[in-house]
Structure formats: structure tokens, C-alpha cells
């Protein structure tokens, strides 16, 4: 097999592969930066909880109007925001710590979502909702994903400074500006939006994978923020493309293939990453002069 046959032909020959390609590339543009900030804000688990939280909303949309893009998107958005706000409120208003309250929320959401989908749909529908159908993306979904990525990048440009500052030195931000709270809410909304976008391609369970794994991978290579965000986006895009090819050639399901490729990148980064990677720690090079 030539390189052309392996790398290009699948996309050249099949329209569904081209759509999937555009879909994952657009998704990566939003998921990369959002994932990087989730990680830096120590909110990786929050992303996970919100991804699960989307499920019952999307499931109610499914219950009411079947596999309808609009209904499931709106349902997912509402549910995601409810979980984001609800977990925060429970953590602040009661003695429950935020991680435990998030865990409670996402377990309930997952069970509820599976229950609702099963009420009406088949097991196939359930698989669709849980793991997505990146090979079945239609025009409307592509537009939705591209729109979400555009909104994400524009919003991040606006809230970049307070977002960074709130991670590094929250007291300082609070002393010079009141933008901290607003930017946090805007950021949470972006997380929900990107998860909803990712959910159509990768399903509720895996959508967060395209955010967290590339960001965690990039952290082993990048020492500054710009590099981190750029690299996370590139890793997400590369995982998307490679995952689609793997899935095409091996006949494997595409969503899991994409996330597994990202997972392999992460494993390699843990081992060989120059910034705090395992090998570098176990086999230190000789120290420098100064």
C-alpha cells in the first residue's frame, strides 16, 4: 500500500470521510484551547462531569423528537448548564466538597440519561448517544460544530486575560477588576458548548476526551501558555485525523479510535515528554554549569 492509499485515498474517495475530517478539525479548534484551560484551572474532572451531565438533556431531546440535531443540542446545552451551576451551588451552599458533588451529579446524570434513551430507543440509539457517530455527520451538524468553534475562539480572545490571571493569581485579579466571575461563567459556557458540539461526533462519554487528552499531552512539552494551547489544538487535530484513518483501515468504531490515538499520544508524552516526563526524571542528564 502506498502512502497515498493509506493517508489520502480514504478522504478522497468517500464523502462521509471528508465530512468526518472537517468535523474533527473544527472540533479540535475549540476543544484544544478549552481543554488546556480546563487543565490549568484544575477542572479536568469538572469537564468530565459536565460531559455526563449533557446526557439526560440530550436524551430528553431524543425522547421528544428522535435523533433530531436541534432538540438534542438544546437539551444537552440546558442540562450541561444545570450541572455546571448546580454542582457549584451544592459545593458552596453545603459542606460538600466540589469534587464529591460533581461526582454525585454525573453519576445521576449518566443513569438518568441511559434510562431515558432506553425508554424509547433501541440499543443502537443508545450507542449513538453515548459514543457518537463521527462518520454520520450531516451538513447541519458540521455547521453547528464550526459555529461553536468560532464562538469559542472569539470568546476566548475576549476573556483571555482575566482567565489567565484568575488561574495564576486570583487575589490580584480581584483587586484590580471584577471580570473574574464573569469570565469564569463565560468559560463554563464554552465548556458546555464544546461538549455539546463534540457529543454529536464522539458521544457524551468521549467528547471530553478530545479536550483533556491533547491538553495533558501538550503539558509535557510546553513551558508557556501560547505553546500549550497551540500544541493542544494540534494534538487534538492530529488525533482526529489519525483516529479516522485507523478506524477506516481496521474497521474499528471511529469515536473510540480517535480518543485512543489521543490516549497513545498522552502515554508517549508521559514517558518521553521533556517537561516533567517519566524518562527525563528517571534518567537525569548531567547538571549544567549554572
Partner 1 sequence: MSAPADASAKAQIAFSDLTLGYERHPAVHHLSGTVHEGTLLAVCGPNGAGKSTLLKGITGALRPLGGGIDLKGLSTRDIAYLPQGAEIDRSFPISVFDMVAMGLWRRAGLFGGIGAKDRERIEAALAAVGLQGFETRPIGTLSGGQMQRTLFARLLLQDARLILLDEPFTALDASTVADLVALVGRWHREGRTVMAVLHDFEMVRQTFPQTLLLARGPVAWGPTRDALSPENLLKARRMGEAWHQDATSCTRAA
Question: What is the smallest separation between the CB atom of 276 and partner 1, expressed in angstroms?
Answer: 10
Question: What is the smallest separation between the CB atom of 175 and partner 1, expressed in angstroms?
Answer: 5
Question: What is the smallest separation between the CB atom of 220 and partner 1, expressed in angstroms?
Answer: 12
Among 114, 153, 225, 270, binds partner 1 (CB under 8 A): 225
Among 123, 223, 283, 287, binds partner 1 (CB under 8 A): 223
DSSP tag of 94: S
Q: Annotate 106-117 with b (16+ C-beta within 10 A) or e (fewer).
A: beebbebbbebb
Q: Annotate 149-159 with b (16+ C-beta within 10 A) or e (fewer).
A: bebbeebbeeb
Show the site string, 155-194: x = touches partner 1 by CB under 8 A, - = not.
---x--xx-xx-xxxxxx-xxxx-x---------------
**Grid cell at residue 94:** 453545603
Which residues, 226 to 265, sit near partner 1 by CB under 8 A? 227-228
* Nearest to partner 1 of 52, 184 (CB atom): 184
Q: Are 118 and 1 in contact (CB under 8 A)?
A: no
Task: Say how far apart CA 107 and CA 186 lie, in whole Å.
Answer: 25
* Nearest to partner 1 of 176, 278 (CB atom): 176
**Grid cell at residue 100:** 464529591
Task: Say how far apart CA 241 and CA 266 lie, in whole Å.
Answer: 16
Residues that bind partner 1 (CB under 8 A): 40, 158, 161-162, 164-165, 167-172, 174-177, 179, 222-225, 227-228
Amino acid at each position: 500500500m502506498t502512502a497515498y492509499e493509506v493517508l489520502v485515498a480514504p478522504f478522497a474517495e468517500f464523502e462521509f470521510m471528508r465530512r468526518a475530517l472537517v468535523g474533527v478539525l473544527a472540533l479540535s479548534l475549540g476543544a484544544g484551547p478549552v481543554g488546556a484551560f480546563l487543565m490549568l484551572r484544575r477542572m479536568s474532572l469538572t469537564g468530565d462531569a459536565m460531559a455526563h451531565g449533557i446526557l439526560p438533556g440530550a436524551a430528553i431531546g431524543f425522547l421528544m423528537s428522535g435523533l433530531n440535531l436541534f432538540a438534542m443540542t438544546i437539551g444537552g446545552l440546558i442540562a450541561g448548564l444545570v450541572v455546571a451551576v448546580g454542582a457549584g451551588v451544592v459545593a458552596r451552599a453545603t459542606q460538600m466538597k466540589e469534587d464529591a458533588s460533581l461526582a454525585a451529579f454525573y453519576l445521576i446524570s449518566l443513569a438518568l440519561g441511559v434510562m431515558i434513551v432506553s425508554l424509547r430507543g433501541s440499543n443502537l440509539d443508545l450507542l449513538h448517544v453515548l459514543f457518537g457517530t463521527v462518520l454520520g455527520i450531516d451538513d447541519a451538524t458540521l455547521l453547528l460544530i464550526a459555529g461553536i468553534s468560532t464562538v469559542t475562539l472569539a470568546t476566548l480572545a475576549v476573556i483571555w486575560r482575566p482567565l489567565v490571571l484568575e488561574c495564576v493569581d486570583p487575589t490580584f485579579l480581584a483587586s484590580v477588576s471584577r471580570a473574574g466571575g464573569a469570565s469564569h461563567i463565560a468559560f463554563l459556557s464554552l465548556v458546555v458548548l464544546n461538549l455539546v458540539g463534540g457529543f454529536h461526533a464522539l458521544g457524551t462519554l468521549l467528547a471530553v476526551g478530545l479536550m483533556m487528552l491533547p491538553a495533558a499531552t501538550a503539558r509535557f512539552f510546553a513551558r508557556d501558555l501560547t505553546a500549550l494551547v497551540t500544541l493542544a489544538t494540534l494534538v487534538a487535530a492530529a488525533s482526529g485525523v489519525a483516529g479516522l484513518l485507523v478506524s477506516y483501515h481496521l474497521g474499528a468504531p471511529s469515536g473510540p479510535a480517535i480518543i485512543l490515538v489521543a490516549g497513545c499520544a498522552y502515554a508517549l508524552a508521559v514517558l518521553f515528554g521533556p517537561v516533567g516526563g517519566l524518562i527525563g526524571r528517571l534518567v537525569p542528564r548531567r547538571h549544567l554549569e549554572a
